[in-house]
Amino acid sequence: MAVRSIQGAENQEWSLVIKPKTNWLSLNLKDLWRYRDLLFLFVRRDFVAVYKQTILGPAWFFIQPILTTVMYMVVFGGIAKLSTDGMPQSLFYMSGVTAWSYFADCINKTSKTFTSNAAIFGKVYFPRLIMPLSIIVSNLIKFGIQFLLFMGFLVFFLVKGSDVNPNFYIFLMPVLILMMACLGLGLGLIISSLTTKYRDLTHLVTFGVQLFMYATPVVYPLSALSDKNELIQKIVMLNPLTPIVEAFRYSFLGAGTVSPIDLVISGVTILFILIIGIIVFNRIEKNFMDTV
């Protein structure tokens, strides 16, 4: 009977066969599509759970960028007297905060993929890449809410007659968002893979992201660096996020240093980082449960 049952099991046609990955660049797109319902479930969990037990709830999506913008206006605009390229301070800082917050949230949360979800990974099979992808998508919803807030401020200043000039670069918005998402995903995958062995990195990520912001023209325009130190400007331009933030700001405010060549170089760099992230993620995924 045992032999017959084994032979019968071997002859069955299984709807899903789980095999070890042999290709480090394998994305398993078919599996990702098959588990799309789980992806949406994780997106809902990430979006709802953040402020579920708070008093103000989703209002924090609006309060955070407003408070951050006000703080930047006081510290960098009022005390440090940093240039805003002639743009209203509130619009200048909010545009930078809106773009930067999406990237920062993506890398901060994606970098904890393995350590935060080890219990789930050890109990049931699903494409592991779904977890970081759900973070990217859920943060996209938050970005959309804050972007609407930014657009409200922009319309107010346009009606007021301020010197704000939106232009055709607005049509690049989907590309800029995709570039920020891919950069956050790529760096997050690399960091999350390293944290399975080196837990100290989890303490350095938040601090490192904060320092990275000052290497990105979020609270200052890139043009301000050209007047002071050309070397510093070149160093800041090595940051693949710099052309994205400048293009984002220029598309809505008409102020910023935008170069199509710099955007192309940034895109190639981001693609390279994403590929490295996928390779490292796929390699660590095979045996990360032994070290987490």
Please check the confidence at residue 5 and state whether its pLDDT lies above 50: no
Looking up tokens 């759900």, which residue turns up?
134
Residue 6 lies in a domain: no
Residue 1 lies in a domain: no
Residue 10 lies in a domain: no
Of residues 284 and 185, the one with the higher pLDDT is 185
Residue 91 lies in a domain: yes
Domain count, the chain: 1
Residue 43 lies in a domain: yes
How far apart CA 54 and CA 208 sit, in angstroms, is 28
How far apart CA 26 and CA 214 sit, in angstroms, is 35
Separation in Å, CA 97 to CA 9, 90, 165, 235: 57, 10, 19, 21
Residue 26's pLDDT band (cuts 50, 70, 90) = low
125-136 pLDDT per residue, tens: 777 888 888 889
41-93 pLDDT per residue, tens: 888 887 777 777 666 667 788 888 999 999 999 999 888 888 888 889 999 99
- pLDDT of 25: 58
- The pLDDT of 33-43, averaged and rounded, is 85
Of residues 35 and 72, the one with the higher pLDDT is 72
Residue 13 lies in a domain: no
Residue 247 lies in a domain: yes
- pLDDT of 236: 87
- The pLDDT of 116-145, averaged and rounded, is 83
Percent of the chain with pLDDT over 90: 34
Residue 109 lies in a domain: yes
- Of the candidates 49, 47, 51, 48, the one whose C-alpha atom is nearest the C-alpha of residue 59 is 51
Contact 61, 146 (CB under 8 A): yes
- pLDDT of 291: 53
- Pair of tokens at residue 195: 């944290």
First-to-last CA distance in the chain? 41
237-281 pLDDT per residue, tens: 889 999 999 999 999 998 888 888 999 999 999 999 999 998 888
Please check the confidence at residue 230 and state whether its pLDDT lies above 50: yes
Please check the confidence at residue 122 and state whether its pLDDT lies above 80: no
C-alpha torsion sign, points 88, 94, 95, 100: positive
Range of the domain at 170: 24-290
pTM of the model: 0.84
Residue 1's pLDDT band (cuts 50, 70, 90) = very low
- Of the candidates 175, 171, 162, the one whose C-alpha atom is nearest the C-alpha of residue 255 is 162
Residue 165's pLDDT band (cuts 50, 70, 90) = confident
- Pair of tokens at residue 233: 């400007």
